[in-house]
Amino acid sequence: MIGQTDEFSLIARYFAPLSKGYAGALALTDDAAFVMPEPGKVLVVSTDTIVEGVHFLPGTPAGSVAMKLARVSLSDLAAKGAKPFAALLNAVLPRARDAAWIVAFSDGLKQDFDRFELTLIGGDTVSTPGPLCLSLTVLGWADVGRTPHRSGAKSGDDVWVSGAIGDGGAGLLAARGGSGSAYLLDRYRHPQPRLALGAAIAGLVTAAMDVSDGLIQDLGHICKASGLGAEIAAGSIPLSPDFKQTGLSAVEAATMGDDYELLFTAAPDRADVLLAAAARSGVDITRIGRMIDGAGVRCLDALGNDVTPVRTGWRHFD
C-alpha cells in the first residue's frame, strides 16, 4: 500500500531515476530545478491533468495511464512545434493504492520518457482521500518565430488534419465494453503525439492546435481566435479502416475527441510543401476544408447540406 511509504522514498525510488542525471534536476532532492535557456529558443510550456474515473477508467493498466498522461501533454508541444525537453509530475495518490500500481506507473512513464526524450525535473507527491489524479507539465524548446498559435488563420486558408479522426473516441467506447478492435483501444490508450510533424510544419502553417476534445469543437477554437469561420466536408474527414468497421459516421468521429492529431491552417500554395513535410514525418495529412469570413464551423455533406452536429465535442462543465 502506498500509504506505508513516505513520499521521499517514493520520489527517490520511482521518480528520481527519470531525472536521468540532468544536472539542473539535482536528482529531485532540492526545492526547485534549474533550467538554462538556450539562445534563440523559446521555452514552450503546457500542463495536463487526468483524474481516475473522468479521464481514464478505473482498472486501466498503470503503464497505460502513464503513457496517456505523457502523450496528451506531448501532443500540445507537438502542436506548437516544440521539441520535448523536460517535465514535472504532480501525483495525487490514494493512500490505499497498491504499491504495485506505482511500480507499473513509473515503468510506463520511464518508457515514454526514453521514447520521447523527456527528463523528469520535478513535481509534487501528495495523498488524497479522493480519486487518483495526475498532472504532467511538459517543457519543450522551439525556434523563436516558429511557434504556431490558434489565432493566425487567414480567410481562404486550407484546413488540414493529421492521421485519422475518431479512433480514440471509438477506442473509448470499446474500453467501456462496446465493440471495437484492439487497434482502436490502443489508439485510445496510447495516442501518438505528432512531434516530428509538428516541428516540420511549424514554419509553414498560419495556425495549429492538437485535437483533444473533438475536431469540430477544436476547429471552433481556431475560428474564434482568428476571428473567422470554417467550412469542412464531412466526406473528407480521414477515417481508419477499423473506425469504418464500427458503423459510426464521419460527423460522429469529428465530435468524439481523444484524437491527439494536429489540426492546422495554411495558405493554399503551401499544400505541396506541407505534404512533403508530412511524408518525411511518416504521418498522413488530409485537407478537410477552408477558413472563411464569418464565425463558427459548418460541416457539409457531399450535396452541400449542413450536417453540423449540435454537440461538437467534449466539455467538462455542461
Interface residues with ligand ADP (CB under 6 A)?
A: 11, 15, 28, 30-31, 89, 91, 120, 122-125
Find residue 92's DSSP bridge partners: 126, 133
Check binding of 31 to Mg ion (CB under 5 A).
Answer: yes
The residue (of 84 and 313) whose beta carbon lies closer to ligand ADP is: 84
Torsion sign over Cα 47, 164, 233, 313: negative
Can you read off the three cell numbers belonging to residue 181? 478492435
Nearest approach in angstroms of CB 32 to ligand ADP is 7
- Contact of residue 15 among ligand ADP, Mg ion, none (CB under 5-8 Å per partner type): ligand ADP
74: left (phi over 0), alpha (psi -120 to 50) or beta: alpha
Check binding of 318 to Mg ion (CB under 5 A).
Answer: no
- Contact of residue 122 among ligand ADP, Mg ion, none (CB under 5-8 Å per partner type): ligand ADP
The residue (of 91 and 202) whose beta carbon lies closer to ligand ADP is: 91
Nearest approach in angstroms of CB 132 to ligand ADP is 13
The residue (of 28 and 232) whose beta carbon lies closer to ligand ADP is: 28
The residue (of 34 and 182) whose beta carbon lies closer to ligand ADP is: 34
Q: Order of strands, edge to edge, in the sheet holding 133-143?
A: 41-51, 133-143, 83-94, 119-128
Degrees, nearest 5: CA angle 257-262-268: 125
Largest CA distance in the chain: 64
- Contact of residue 30 among Mg ion, ligand ADP, none (CB under 5-8 Å per partner type): ligand ADP
Nearest approach in angstroms of CB 4 to ligand ADP is 18
Nearest approach in angstroms of CB 31 to Mg ion is 3
Give alpha helix (H) positions in the chain: 7-10, 62-79, 99-115, 167-175, 182-189, 195-201, 215-226, 241-245, 250-256, 271-281
Nearest approach in angstroms of CB 77 to Mg ion is 27
SS3 262: strand
Contacting residues toward Mg ion, per CB under 5 A? 31
